[in-house]
Amino acid sequence: MIHEKVMLTDVTGRDGFQMEDWIETEEKIIIINEIIAAGVKRIEATSFVSPKAVPQLKDAKEVMKHINRENVNIIALIPNVKGAEFALESSVDEVNVVVSVSETHNRKNVKKSVDESLEGIIEIYRLVESAGKKVNVGLATTFGCPFEGIYEVNRVTEVMKKLTANGLSSFMLADTTGMANPLQVSNFIKSLKGAFPSTDLSLHLHNTRGMGLANILAGYHSGIRSFDASLGGIGGCPFAPGATGNVALEDVAHMFYQMNIPIDPNLTKLIRAAKKLEEVLGYKLPGQVMKAGLSTDLHQA
Ligand code: COA
Ligand code: ZN
């Protein structure tokens, strides 16, 4: 059976690096270029946000200038029009904006109400679309919020309604602090696909409670073909208590590879990049395949 390709988007440079102590710009560029060299076709490389809110990424402009832009779509996360203008000046291919389904998390993250964020996103969309670039909306805390708990899918539907009515059509369902379970993922996707049949949905899942791969698989079986992940499984939201890393990119790649589902990156090169990142960060990363090797790598008897 020939399977449809799965798009893996690397978020190491943004979601990953925003959770680390300061990493030198040159080292960031080396890591991102390794990820590109491994064949990843979409990368969220940085964010153009307030340097007071996320000082770890205050070098966004420099990073954008020096990464290898061939054969890859580079995305930057932005919180407002100012960020959109910076991102366009740096010739991003796409921008990611973010709004939380949870009112409390949204205020912690961007100091605005959900409604204010939605208005801001619509304004950003007009600006970025007129520049011919794509806008994707990350729906943080889709599957539950560390402050407000788990909610019904209609909370997500309400947020999406206002945005789709204004032309936005690409959404990342984000499990910011790993509260999702596979059944919930399937149920939410079924409802959202039913309510918004012509939108593109992708999944941005954190592995906070070890359910990341199971949730990705549930998403895959529900028809999702686009997933975010980060090298070695680093990352998290600085404005959500208990947040930890994404699902490790090389672990996700390994799972799809084993299932004969086509993906772009080369697994061996991804593992090499994850090991390099581990050296740069100086601590053991949570990724598992980078420690165990490929399941097809045999040992001497
Ligand atoms: N890029 C660079 N600087 C920015 C900026 C941007 N996109 N947006 C605002 N700033 C600067 C302002 O110029 C101002 O600087 P100053 O104090 O030197 O004058 C400062 O940041 C505060 O700006 P203000 O508009 O008052 O914002 P705020 O303090 O209400 O913060 C956000 C709101 C959204 C800008 C801020 O919370 C933010 O950037 N959050 C990012 C959250 C994030 O990345 N979360 C992780 C990903 S989910
Ligand atoms: Zn994240």
Structural domain spans, the chain: 7-292
pLDDT score at 88? 98
pLDDT score at 242? 85
Picking from 256, 245, 255, the residue whose alpha carbon sits closest to that of residue 283 is 245
Q: Which atom of ligand 1 is nearest to the CA of 109?
A: 42
C-alpha 164 – ligand 1 centre gap (Å): 26
Q: Which ligand is nearest to the CA of 206?
A: 2
The Cα diameter of the chain in Å comes to 63
Residue with the smallest CA separation from ligand 1 atom 44 is 49
Q: Produce one character per residue of 161-182: b if its CB has 16 or more CB atoms within 10 Å, e if not.
A: ebbbeeebbbbbbbbbbbbbbb
pLDDT score at 3? 87
How far apart (Å, rounded) are the C-alpha atoms in residues 171 and 163?
10
pLDDT in tens, 193-228: 999 999 999 999 999 999 999 999 999 999 999 999
Domain 7-292 grouped into CATH 3.20.20.70: yes
Residue with the smallest CA separation from ligand 1 atom 24 is 50
Q: Which ligand is nearest to the CA of 207?
A: 2
Residue with the smallest CA separation from ligand 1 atom 40 is 110
Residue with the smallest CA separation from ligand 1 atom 43 is 109
Q: For the purposes of burial, counting CB atoms within 10 Å of the CB of 297, is it exposed (0-12), middle (13-18) or buried (19 or more)?
A: exposed
C-alpha 53 – ligand 1 centre gap (Å): 6
Pocket test for ligand 1, best of 50, 128, 139, 141 (most atoms within 8 A of CB): 50
Q: Which atom of ligand 1 is nearest to the CA of 238?
A: 46
Q: Point out the residues of the chain with pLDDT beneath 70.
A: none
With tokens 């990368």, the residue in question is 43
The type of residue at 88 is L
How far apart (Å, rounded) are the C-alpha atoms in residues 248 and 231?
5
For residue 9 the two structure tokens come to 């988007």
pLDDT score at 14? 98
The type of residue at 237 is C
Q: Which atom of ligand 1 is nearest to the CA of 79?
A: 34
pLDDT score at 197? 97
Report residues whose beta carbon is within 6 angstroms of any ligand 1 atom: 18, 47-54, 77, 79-80, 82-83, 86, 98, 109-111, 140, 237, 239
Question: Which positions are catalytic?
Answer: 237
Q: What is the pTM of this model?
A: 0.96
Pocket test for ligand 1, best of 49, 96, 204 (most atoms within 8 A of CB): 49
pLDDT score at 172? 98
